[in-house]
């Protein structure tokens, strides 16, 4: 969490210093790709970071495993794919853990390269706010959803290695294998980057699939490092990958929806009274109107 927070701060100054170009001669693809309510997005981000601060401490300070739990560990219940994580040389697992922690930072900063595109740089502040919002949602989902370690207590691979000191195996943090927050964070970053680039270049055709393929490489590499660090099983990384990638695509897509094109009104007639919802699909299309009578609500 601390690494991600500092990375977002660094990204802010990085884009601010290098991402603005006032002498652009490139014709923008669209006047405005995303609609970002800065006050709402800022409030969501601040509230999420505040709540995540307390969640991280609770997750990392789970009760230590007792001797009975260690004695009851059964590798036979581990599926064949995940069993790979239990057949490694554990001698350098702390080295891989350190590498994965530091490798996360440049991956989070990677979307800052978008600022060098002249079309995108003019909207850099809104995109940065949107990026921070998505990271906060990714953190919050990890910290509070039923899939995350607040509710799950799956043992990390390190717990099963009898070659490791007992104190390392008994750590309460070893209850946090499911799912990989590192992988989720990296997948969010790279898929957000690919999604934004494709949204600003809608005519790129099949080339967009190359962008999404490239976006998969860093989180897959991160997942590999986390397995080597004895921190996660492959399935933990797979779930983190899918969730992070989904948020990275959904958040920009959500901001393409213009909420100002939705209006509510009261419908009255001699026969009924109800709610009228008017939704203009695009600024150039006629509005779709749906009338909801009280009996249908």
The secondary structure element, H or E, covering residue 267 is: strand 262-268
* Predicted local confidence at residue 270, as pLDDT: 53
Which residue ranges in the chain fall short of pLDDT 70?
A: 1-31, 258-297
HEC letters along 78-132 = CCCCHHHHHCCCHHHHHHHHHHHHHHHHHHHHHHHHHHHCHHHHCCHHHHHHHHH
Three-state secondary structure call for residue 274: strand
Q: What is the pLDDT of residues 174-201, one digit of tens each?
A: 999 999 999 999 999 999 999 999 999 9
Q: What is the pLDDT of residues 78-93, one digit of tens each?
A: 999 999 999 999 999 9
* Predicted local confidence at residue 258, as pLDDT: 61
| Domain boundaries of the chain, sorted by first residue | 2-257, 261-296
* Predicted local confidence at residue 37, as pLDDT: 93
* Predicted local confidence at residue 3, as pLDDT: 52
CB 82 within 8 A of CB 233: yes
* Predicted local confidence at residue 56, as pLDDT: 86
* Predicted local confidence at residue 135, as pLDDT: 94
* Predicted local confidence at residue 55, as pLDDT: 86
Query: Backbone dihedral region of 223: left (phi > 0), alpha (psi from -120 to 50 degrees) or beta?
Result: alpha
């Amino acid at each position: 969490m601390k690494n991600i927070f500092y990375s977002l701060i660094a990204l802010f100054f990085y884009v601010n210093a290098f991402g603005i170009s006032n002498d652009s001669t490139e014709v923008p693809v669209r006047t405005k790709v995303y609609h970002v309510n800065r006050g709402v997005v800022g409030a969501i981000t601040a509230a999420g970071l505040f709540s995540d601060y307390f969640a991280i401490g609770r997750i990392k300070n789970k009760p230590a495993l007792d001797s009975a739990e260690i004695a009851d560990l059964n590798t036979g219940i581990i599926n064949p794919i995940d069993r790979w994580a239990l057949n490694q040389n554990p001698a350098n697992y702390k080295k891989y853990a350190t590498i994965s922690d530091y490798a996360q930072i440049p991956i989070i900063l990677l979307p800052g390269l978008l600022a060098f595109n002249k079309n995108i740089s003019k909207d850099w502040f809104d995109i940065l706010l949107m990026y921070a919002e998505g990271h906060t949602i990714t953190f919050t989902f990890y910290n509070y959803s039923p899939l995350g370690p607040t509710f799950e207590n799956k043992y990390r691979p390190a717990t099963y290695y009898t070659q490791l000191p007992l104190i390392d195996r008994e750590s309460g943090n070893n209850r946090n294998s499911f799912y990989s927050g590192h992988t989720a964070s990296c997948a969010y970053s790279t898929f957000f980057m690919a999604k934004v680039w494709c949204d600003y270049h809608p005519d790129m055709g099949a080339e967009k699939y190359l962008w999404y393929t490239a976006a998969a490489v860093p989180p897959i590499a991160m997942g590999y490092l986390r397995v080597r660090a004895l921190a996660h099983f492959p399935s933990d990384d797979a779930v983190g990958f899918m969730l992070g990638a989904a948020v990275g695509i959904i958040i920009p897509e959500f901001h393409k929806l213009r909420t100002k094109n939705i209006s509510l009104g009261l419908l009255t007639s001699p026969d009924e009274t109800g709610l009228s919802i008017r939704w203009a699909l695009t600024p150039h299309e006629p509005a779709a109107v749906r009338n909801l009578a009280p009996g249908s609500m």
